[in-house]
Amino acid sequence: MRFLYLSLLLFIGVNCKTTAPQETKPVSWETMHEILASIKPPVFPDRSFLVTDFGAVGNGTMDCLPAFRAAIAKCHDSGGGKVTMPPGAYLVNGPIHLKSNVNLHVPEGATIKFSTTPAHYLPVVFTRWEGAECMNYSPLIYAFEQENIAITGTGTLDGQASSENWWPWASSKTYGWQPGMPSQADEAGRPRLFDWNTREVPVSERILGEGAYLRPNFIQPYRCKNVLIDGPTIRNSPMWVVHPVLSENITIQNIKVISHGPNSDGCDPECCRNVLIKNCYFDTGDDCIALKSGRNQDGRRIGRPIENVVVQDCEMKDGHGGVVIGSEVSGGARNIFAENCKMDSPNLDRAIRVKTNKVRGGTIENLFFRNIKVGEVREAVVRVNMLYPIYSDTSQTFIPVIRNIFVENVKSKKSRYGVYIDGYDAANPVRNVHLANCKFDGVEKGNAIKHAAGLHFENYYLNGNLVDNPAKQ
């Protein structure tokens, strides 16, 4: 497409920090192939460690956590390999902590069932909760500063979360909470953490856990390198499901995420670099894929964007958004590519979504979407919002920047809006949004565009009618 090529040369650059000035290299779909070439899944020695050899019994009632920990330690100390199990149901009363060079392999017919007793996830570990650093309950599967780790196999990981245990902490009657019950909304929970973030209280002093009611994530590699998650079905998470943080060289493929709890985002890479999400299925209670880079002060202090992310061949059912950037995106986001995906559900709110606000801030740029089939979404096919609700009390202002969004060959059958854009104001619009060869049918209210500059439409059809190119007006 001629206009796409020219626009890329004019508007887009890779903003990498370097020790010496370099020429700006244009970002295009060719950049995606360079990113893919740099992502290499870890390889493990050909040796196996059966948890049943360390005392585990797959009867669904015996606590197998000591056996898993012993097998992981032995595998790590032996130079790496595969920790695995025969078919069966393995209860673990606490978190599994992965170590370098360990592949946790859950084969077909095997299920790891995680305890729903909060005390089992103590002592607290260094983690993130909605983009803010803290010491909180351990994620159900956790790794800190490890290299070459994996979770593979076509078995099941079951967090067992429900309205009977973790989910009421979200303070929503939909998930079992009732007035008088404790929740994350209490002063000792979410408000305290976000106040610590605003005041930049040292993370070592942000100790939560018991009494704070902040649910743990399911899978969290934190400051890790060379991560592979391939094959398992992941069900019923307390909160976010797959949440790599400050990690590099990540492959997430062939997984099925089914979790309809509060904030059950399917896959939320945060402040990560070189990430592939491929051939995955998401049926969630929140965003299917949400790319993040830290909340407010923590995101700006650490200053690590989410960058070089490729999403391919995924299917999205229920959720708030299909492929989403934000809202915890204060460290920025750049060089995001999504292609060949399917999104369809009356309970899926948006297909492509960007969300931030004057407190989050962040520079979000170089977003590419193509060959996406959208059946039905509740709100909009393309939603870009610089006025996302703040949900925290702060007077600080960090106006975000959103620019360079390319949407090509996206087709939809039913939605309230086609393109729905809210720039911050006339001085801070969403900039340089391109649509090419898109057909949005069954659109109830048309487009809703406010404070956008540099819009380019080419062969964009709305309810069968060609939409004029704003760039020519």
Catalytic residues: 286, 320
Q: In one letter, which amino acid is 177?
A: W
Report the alpha-carbon distance of residue 78 to residue 73 in Å, rounded: 8
Report the alpha-carbon distance of residue 399 to residue 303 in Å, rounded: 16
Report the alpha-carbon distance of residue 126 to residue 48 in Å, rounded: 30
Phi first, then psi: give them for residue 219, nearest 5 degrees: -120, 120
Quickly list H helices, 352-440. none
Report the alpha-carbon distance of residue 171 to residue 215 in Å, rounded: 12
- Among 417, 336, 347, 428, smallest CA distance to 383 is for 417
Q: Could you tell me where the beta strands, DSSP code E, fall in 137-193?
A: 141-144, 147-152, 156-158
- Retrieve residue 419's tokens: 């393109």
- Among 3, 25, 31, 88, smallest CA distance to 335 is for 31
Report the alpha-carbon distance of residue 167 to residue 188 in Å, rounded: 18
With 0-12 CB in 10 A as exposed, 13-18 as middle and 19+ as buried, what is 226? buried
Q: How far apart are the first and last CA of the chain?
A: 20
Contact partners, residue 42, CB within 8 Å, separation at least 6: 101, 103, 147, 148, 149, 150, 226, 227, 228
Report the alpha-carbon distance of residue 232 to residue 154 in Å, rounded: 4
Phi first, then psi: give them for residue 275, nearest 5 degrees: -130, 130
Report the alpha-carbon distance of residue 21 to residue 275 in Å, rounded: 26
Cα-Cα-Cα-Cα dihedral sign, residues 392, 359, 348, 111: negative
Query: Do the bridges between strand 273-278 and strand 417-422 make them parallel or antiparallel, or are there none, so unpaired?
Result: unpaired
Neighbours of 202 (CB within 10 A): 8
